[in-house]
């Protein structure tokens, strides 16, 4: 294997880190999804450390609250005993789990200063099974995932690690900076390693791969893959971000300033070599020799470095006693405490089991207890909700006066419930991107947003353009840009051709590229200061080839004119500018006298080249939709939610977003299915498509008849305040507007009721006013609970859940299996998009809760935004992955309940099996990273997927 291949073999252990501006919820253990959930967590714990399950005391609290049913605990313990051939009474195993385990650590501390007789047979058993008597294996365990500079620090009392990591963070954060700093690092376009050589004044003529090869040889590294992983784990947030951007060909900063993981490893190894060359141990061969000659001392120093030595051993080290004697005493003390823990456990149990046998059972049970508790909690919820979802329900419904589709987001559940209670309204749920992935360029913004799940790359570009005068907006905004800045924006934006042509006078002004930073403390101040965006529409139709060519010509000639005017102080005519453009693009003869260096600069720096001309054409061909694409997206959406025959006069499709101030994690509260962005553009685009006559005519050919008087109206649900605002209502007649006003009134009533319910779970919040203040308060660490407490998905008809208050804990996706085909194409699409997003959200919350230090972001109190890509603690630290503790904890206790996603699907078993087989989500489904439950109303059975097969857990009456 090459060096790159060896690095690639371990890189996926480190999770991707998306920039915080478009926060992507993700499974931090995504690289382990090829393993069963339980096996993956065991492996991850060995690599990352930290916890992977909540403590047993946490689960005991849930048990006493009645959330965990004793029958599920008994069933899961029986399963463990049977699979491991452990012959032990069930009641005794329950005692071990529920009485001994919660106080296990206390038992050890209790005996630190207490002398008791140790059972000889038990002590011998522990001795025979302990790694502590195999010094070489013990040493290997202690130095696992330690770099050579860390080993030197541990053995000789140095602090090189702190200096090295600080230097690396300083360089990497400046190199990866996305316009947060006022003074950018020079030469970044050369790439990370080439820039680093200039940064350190380091003369090396070859590339990063060669440097890494030579460095590993110099350090005498034997297991290269393992050592790569060791280095990646040191700052795995930064490594994850470099990995993400190096794998995304569309990431603008990566295109401008390339970086790769091999560059990053080269930077790290440079600092390691600089550190160890002045150390006593400068390579691993020397370390092996040193440790062979001083094994006891090396182990003791490593234990002390890791805070794993007791007081007597520390005192003996300080007194310069013989290290072999100190180590022997430490081992004896450890085994004594282990033995006393087991002996006292036996006293608690009052059992007659031989202590040796009890030790074996305890070891296995403690290895499995986290999973037993987790699965028992999940099973209790599954049993409870299966009963509720399969209750007999009243199928009679009034003909709806309007329908409302919300994102399947858990925060939509309450408001959907209250909307349905206010009148004859039918609600649906779908992934917030609505199955229409778009690259969206907002009015007055220079770059696109990918409004789709992170795994989907949009193929259509949509621009937001004003359909009324924007003079007031521009005058309020008051942006003044230098020629240099305008040129910089022009050359760095891949969609500049379209934007710039509009800027020349067709629709926009040149201030389109401006940015505004207007901090607001109150809503009143905000409304007075912030420019009000004019009414807008979207570019829904394809551009003609002729128009595209005109756009690019206008763009290029505008750049040429601006550049030459600023450089020569001379205005060029339109004909002269076009001649220069034809020379640059078509290689035509140039009769105008212009310095050659300026021609070259236009080519090199401003990219006025034939290659750029073709590139811009390809990008602009993506703008808008063909008629066939419009029909396909609308058809897929309607069949996905099952709205194929009921079309009331008003069909509302409501996206969602969040509002909060001074909150780097704000995008984590937006739509996960839209890449951490507000999903309004998707709803507006789909409604524009659905309101098109040609599209409706084509839909008839597909068997879906949308009445002529039906209007699709887009809306936006603000989850922090539960307010709903509608857009594009100018398509309604005066009479229709009056009718729609009644619907808006009902939705506002639902909003008020939803606010009252949701405010009860937020601390220091009692009413609508309190929730509004939270959304504007700069010091508020918890503007809303977001997706905390998410626990499940329901994919099926609304009639199965409409009678239930699900307390914002379920993602609710509408699905009618009768509309789906034999290949389960619709259910497969739900798996491939919304389900993957749901799993990422669920597992990010899970791991951020079980160990916020390792998998979460820590407290917001200590966060500083760095490089506009993430947050770190204080002045320098690793990029903080996961969610801040305020998102999942309240007053020191877990608010989020970490369980796997309980995925209920109302469909025939065969249809679900077909969808699983066809889906890219298959690995995490069959490896039980979620808990699939199938409600098969045709077969009158409910199935749960466990240990590789679907088992019947209920017969439906």
Mean pLDDT along residues 596-604: 90
Residue with tokens 């349905």: 420
* Per-position DSSP letters for 690-706, written without gaps between them: HT-HHHHHHHHHTT---
Instruction: Give the phi and the psi of residue 544 in degrees, each rounded to 5.
Output: -75, 155
Pick 782 or 138 by higher pLDDT.
138
**Is 93:77 a contact under the CB 8 Å cutoff?**
yes
What span, in angstroms and rounded, lies between the C-alpha atoms of 718 and 659? 7
Query: Strand 792-796 vs strand 901-906: parallel, antiparallel, or unpaired?
Result: parallel
Nearest to 175 by CA among 154, 155, 195, 161: 195
Render the burial of 814-841: b for 16+ CB within 10 Å, e for the rest.
bbbbeebeeebbbbbbbbbbbbbbbbbb
What are 666's two structure tokens? Answer: 């704000």
Q: Tell me the pLDDT tens digit for each residue of 334-384.
A: 998 899 889 988 888 888 889 999 999 999 999 999 999 999 999 999 999
Predicted pLDDT of residue 393: 72
Question: Where residue 154 falls among pLDDT bands split at 50, 70, 90?
Answer: very high
| CA 872, 874, 878, 881 torsion-angle sign | negative
Taking CA 839 as the corner, what is the angle to CA 835 and CA 845, rounded to the nearest 5 degrees? 145
Predicted pLDDT of residue 499: 45
Q: Is residue 774 predicted with pLDDT exceeding 90?
A: no
What are 815's two structure tokens? Answer: 């699905």
- Tell me the chain's radius of gyration from C-alpha atoms: 32
Instruction: Give the phi and the psi of residue 475 in degrees, each rounded to 5.
Output: -70, -35
**Is 924:918 a contact under the CB 8 Å cutoff?**
no
- How much of the chain exceeds pLDDT 70, in percent? 88
Task: Cite the annotated binding site for Zn(2+) by residue number.
Answer: 407, 409, 656, 671
CA distances from 856 to 363, 674, 769 (A): 29, 22, 31
What are 153's two structure tokens? Answer: 């620090």
**Is 466:539 a contact under the CB 8 Å cutoff?**
no
Task: Cite the annotated binding site by residue number.
Answer: 407, 409, 656, 671
Tell me the range of 139-153, 305-319, 431-445 where mean pLDDT is highest: 139-153
Predicted pLDDT of residue 953: 96
The answer to which of 33-42, 407-416, 516-525 has the lowest mean pLDDT is 516-525
Pick 725 or 393 by higher pLDDT.
725
Query: Strand 438-441 vs strand 449-451: parallel, antiparallel, or unpaired?
Result: antiparallel
**Is 460:624 a contact under the CB 8 Å cutoff?**
yes
Predicted pLDDT of residue 662: 52
The answer to which of 772-786, 797-811, 848-862, 863-877 has the lowest mean pLDDT is 772-786
What are 673's two structure tokens? Answer: 């299915």
What span, in angstroms and rounded, lies between the C-alpha atoms of 392 and 376? 27
Please, what's the largest Cα pairwise distance for the chain?
104
Beta strands in 425-542 (DSSP E): 425-430, 438-441, 449-451, 460-466, 536-538
**Is 694:701 a contact under the CB 8 Å cutoff?**
no
What span, in angstroms and rounded, lies between the C-alpha atoms of 754 and 774? 16
Instruction: Give the phi and the psi of residue 531 in degrees, each rounded to 5.
Output: -60, 135
**Is 149:280 a contact under the CB 8 Å cutoff?**
no
What span, in angstroms and rounded, lies between the C-alpha atoms of 607 and 491? 7
What span, in angstroms and rounded, lies between the C-alpha atoms of 267 and 272? 9
Predicted pLDDT of residue 661: 55
What span, in angstroms and rounded, lies between the C-alpha atoms of 193 and 182? 23
The answer to which of 630-644, 785-799, 851-865 has the lowest mean pLDDT is 851-865
What span, in angstroms and rounded, lies between the C-alpha atoms of 321 and 305? 18
What span, in angstroms and rounded, lies between the C-alpha atoms of 675 and 852? 23
What are 17's two structure tokens? Answer: 């880190």
What span, in angstroms and rounded, lies between the C-alpha atoms of 40 and 36? 6
Predicted pLDDT of residue 507: 31
What span, in angstroms and rounded, lies between the C-alpha atoms of 910 and 631? 29
**Is 775:660 a contact under the CB 8 Å cutoff?**
yes
Tell me the range of 616-625, 704-713, 874-883 where mean pLDDT is highest: 704-713
Predicted pLDDT of residue 722: 87
DSSP 8-state assignment for residue 185: P
| CA 455, 459, 464, 467 torsion-angle sign | negative
494: number of Cβ within 10 Å: 21
Question: Where residue 188 falls among pLDDT bands split at 50, 70, 90?
Answer: very high
Q: Is residue 470 predicted with pLDDT exceeding 90?
A: no
Q: Tell me the pLDDT tens digit for each residue of 88-116.
A: 889 999 999 999 888 887 777 765 556 78
Question: Where residue 16 falls among pLDDT bands split at 50, 70, 90?
Answer: confident
Containing 745, the helix (H) or strand (E) segment is helix 734-759
User: For the sheet containing 949-955, what is the strand order?
Assistant: 810-814, 792-796, 901-906, 930-936, 941-946, 949-955
Q: Alpha helix locations (H) across 189-283?
A: 192-199, 208-219, 224-234, 236-246, 252-256, 261-276
β-strand partners of 464: 538
488: number of Cβ within 10 Å: 15
Q: How many residues does the chain have?
A: 957
| CA 318, 323, 329, 331 torsion-angle sign | positive
Q: Alpha helix locations (H) across 760-872?
A: 768-776, 825-830, 836-850, 852-855
Containing 903, the helix (H) or strand (E) segment is strand 901-906
Predicted pLDDT of residue 37: 97
What span, in angstroms and rounded, lies between the C-alpha atoms of 228 and 696? 57
What span, in angstroms and rounded, lies between the C-alpha atoms of 52 and 320? 40
CA distances from 536 to 389, 464, 681 (A): 43, 6, 11
What span, in angstroms and rounded, lies between the C-alpha atoms of 32 and 855? 15
Pick 919 or 252 by higher pLDDT.
919
Question: Where residue 664 falls among pLDDT bands split at 50, 70, 90?
Answer: low
Predicted pLDDT of residue 473: 67
Upper half-sphere CA count for residue 535 (Cβ side, 13 Å)? 8
What are 388's two structure tokens? Answer: 């509720």
* Per-position DSSP letters for 12-43, written without gaps between them: TTSPP---GGG-----TTGGGTTS-HHHHHHH
User: pTM for the full model?
Assistant: 0.89
**Is 836:843 a contact under the CB 8 Å cutoff?**
no
What span, in angstroms and rounded, lies between the C-alpha atoms of 665 and 23? 7
Q: Tell me the pLDDT tens digit for each residue of 537-550.
A: 999 999 999 999 99
The answer to which of 87-96, 519-528, 604-613, 741-750 has the lowest mean pLDDT is 519-528
- How much of the chain exceeds pLDDT 90, in percent? 65
> Using CB atoms within 10 A of its CB, is residue 134 exposed (0-12), middle (13-18) or buried (19+)?
exposed
What are 328's two structure tokens? Answer: 């022997």
What are 705's two structure tokens? Answer: 């008849």
The answer to which of 14-28, 33-47, 536-550, 618-632 has the lowest mean pLDDT is 14-28
Q: Tell me the pLDDT tens digit for each residue of 422-460.
A: 999 999 999 888 999 999 988 877 678 888 887 788 999
Query: Strand 438-441 vs strand 460-466: parallel, antiparallel, or unpaired?
Result: parallel
**Is 243:14 a contact under the CB 8 Å cutoff?**
yes
The answer to which of 242-246, 335-339, 706-710, 766-770 has the lowest mean pLDDT is 766-770
Nearest to 27 by CA among 18, 467, 804: 18
Containing 298, the helix (H) or strand (E) segment is helix 295-305
Q: Is residue 595 predicted with pLDDT exceeding 50?
A: yes
The SS3 assignment for 631 reads helix
Contacts 24+ apart (CB under 8 A), 731-740: 731/691, 736/649, 736/711, 739/649, 739/650, 740/650, 740/713
Q: Is residue 650 predicted with pLDDT exceeding 90?
A: yes
Q: Tell me the pLDDT tens digit for each residue of 42-81.
A: 999 999 999 999 999 999 999 999 999 999 999 999 999 9
Nearest to 432 by CA among 448, 459, 456: 456
CA 529 to chain CA centroid, Å, is 33
Q: Is residue 503 predicted with pLDDT exceeding 90?
A: no
């Amino acid at each position: 294997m090459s060096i790159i291949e060896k690095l690639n073999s371990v890189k996926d252990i480190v999770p991707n880190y998306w920039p915080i501006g478009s926060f992507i919820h993700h499974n931090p253990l995504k690289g382990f999804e090829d393993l069963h959930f339980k096996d993956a967590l065991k492996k991850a714990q060995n690599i990352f450390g930290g916890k992977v399950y909540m403590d047993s005391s946490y689960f005991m609290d849930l048990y006493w609250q009645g959330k965990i049913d004793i029958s599920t605990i008994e069933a899961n313990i029986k399963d463990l005993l049977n699979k491991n051939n452990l012959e032990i009474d069930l009641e005794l195993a329950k005692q071990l789990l529920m009485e001994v385990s919660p106080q296990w650590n206390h038992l050890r501390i209790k005996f630190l200063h207490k002398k008791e007789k140790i059972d000889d047979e038990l002590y011998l058993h522990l001795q025979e099974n302990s790694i502590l008597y195999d010094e070489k294996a013990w040493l290997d365990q202690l130095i696992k995932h330690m770099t050579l500079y860390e080993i030197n620090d541990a053995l000789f009392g140095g602090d090189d690690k702190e200096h090295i990591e600080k230097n690396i963070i300083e360089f990497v954060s400046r190199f990866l900076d996305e316009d947060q700093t006022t003074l950018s690092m020079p030469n970044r376009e050369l790439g990370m390693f080439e820039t680093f050589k200039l940064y350190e004044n380091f003369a090396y003529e070859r590339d990063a791969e060669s440097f890494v090869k030579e460095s590993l040889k110099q350090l005498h590294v034997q297991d290269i893959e393992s050592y790569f992983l060791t280095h990646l784990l040191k700052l795995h947030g930064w490594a994850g971000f470099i990995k993400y951007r190096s794998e995304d060909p569309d990431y603008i900063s990566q295109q401008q300033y390339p970086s790769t993981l091999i560059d990053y490893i080269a930077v790290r190894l440079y600092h390691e070599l600089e550190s160890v060359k002045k150390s006593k141990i400068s390579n691993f061969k020397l370390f092996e020799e040193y440790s062979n000659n001083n094994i006891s001392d090396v182990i003791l120093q490593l234990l002390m470095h890791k805070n794993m030595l007791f007081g007597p051993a520390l005192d003996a080290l300080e007194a310069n006693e013989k290290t072999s004697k100190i180590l022997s005493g430490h081992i004896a003390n450890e085994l004594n405490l282990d033995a006393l823990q087991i002996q006292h456990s036996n006293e608690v149990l009052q059992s007659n089991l031989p202590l040796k046998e009890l030790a074996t059972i305890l070891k296995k049970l403690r290895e499995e207890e986290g999973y037993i508790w987790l699965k028992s909690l999940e099973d209790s919820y599954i049993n409870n909700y299966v009963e509720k979802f399969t209750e007999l329900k009243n199928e009679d419904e009034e003909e709806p006066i309007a329908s409302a589709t919300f994102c399947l987001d858990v925060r939509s559940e309450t408001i959907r419930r209250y909307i349905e209670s206010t009148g004859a309204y039918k609600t649906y749920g779908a992934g917030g991107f609505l199955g229409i992935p778009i690259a969206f360029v907002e009015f007055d913004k220079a770059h696109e947003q990918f409004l789709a799940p992170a795994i989907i790359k949009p193929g259509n570009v949509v621009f937001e353009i004003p359909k009324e005068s924007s003079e007031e907006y521009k005058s309020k905004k008051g942006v003044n840009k230098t020629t240099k800045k305008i040129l910089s924006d022009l050359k760095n934006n891949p969609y500049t051709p379209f934007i710039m042509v509009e800027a020349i006078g067709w629709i926009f002004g040149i201030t389109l590229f401006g940015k505004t930073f207007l901090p607001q403390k109150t809503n009143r101040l905000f409304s007075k200061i912030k420019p009000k965006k004019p009414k807008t529409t979207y570019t829904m139709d394809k551009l003609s080839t002729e128009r595209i060519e005109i756009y690019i010509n206008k763009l290029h000639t505008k750049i040429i004119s601006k550049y030459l005017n600023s450089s020569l102080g001379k205005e060029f005519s339109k004909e002269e500018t076009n001649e220069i453009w034809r020379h640059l693009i078509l290689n035509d003869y140039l009769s105008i006298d212009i310095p050659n260096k300026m021609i070259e600069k236009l080519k090199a720096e401003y990219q006025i080249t034939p290659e750029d001309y073709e590139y811009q054409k390809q990008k602009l061909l993506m703008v808008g939709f063909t008629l066939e694409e419009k029909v396909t997206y609308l058809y897929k959406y309607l069949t996905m939610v099952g709205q194929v025959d009921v079309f009331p006069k008003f069909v509302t499709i409501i996206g969602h977003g969040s509002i909060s101030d001074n909150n780097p994690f704000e995008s984590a509260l937006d739509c996960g299915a839209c890449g951490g962005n507000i999903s309004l553009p998707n709803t507006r685009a789909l409604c524009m498509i659905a309101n098109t006559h040609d599209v409706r005519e084509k839909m008839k050919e597909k068997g879906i008849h949308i009445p002529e008087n039906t209007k699709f109206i887009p809306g936006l649900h603000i989850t922090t305040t539960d307010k709903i605002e509608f857009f594009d209502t100018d398509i309604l007649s005066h009479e229709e507007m009056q009718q729609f006003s009644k619907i808006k009134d009902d939705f506002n009533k639902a909003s008020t009721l939803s606010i009252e319910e949701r405010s009860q779970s937020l601390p220091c919040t009692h009413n609508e006013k309190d929730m509004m203040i939270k959304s504007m308060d700069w010091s508020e660490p918890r503007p809303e609970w977001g997706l905390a407490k998410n626990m499940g998905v329901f994919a099926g008809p609304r009639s199965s859940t409409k009678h239930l208050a699900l307390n914002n804990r379920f993602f609710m996706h509408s699905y009618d299996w009768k509309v789906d085909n034999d290949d389960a194409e619709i259910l497969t699409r739900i798996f491939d998009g919304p389900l993957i997003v749901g799993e990422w959200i669920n597992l990010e919350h899970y791991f951020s809760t079980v160990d916020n230090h390792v998998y979460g972001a820590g407290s917001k109190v200590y966060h500083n935004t760095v490089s506009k890509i993430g947050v770190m603690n204080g002045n320098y630290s690793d990029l903080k992955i996961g969610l801040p503790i305020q998102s999942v904890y309240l007053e020191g206790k877990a608010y989020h309940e970490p369980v796997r996603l309980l995925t209920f699907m109302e469909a025939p078993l065969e249809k679900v099996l077909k969808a699983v087989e066809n889906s890219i989500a298959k690995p995490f489904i069959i490896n039980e990273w979620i808990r699939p439950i199938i409600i098969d109303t045709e077969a009158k059975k409910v199935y749960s997927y466990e240990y590789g097969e679907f088992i019947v857990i209920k017969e439906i009456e």
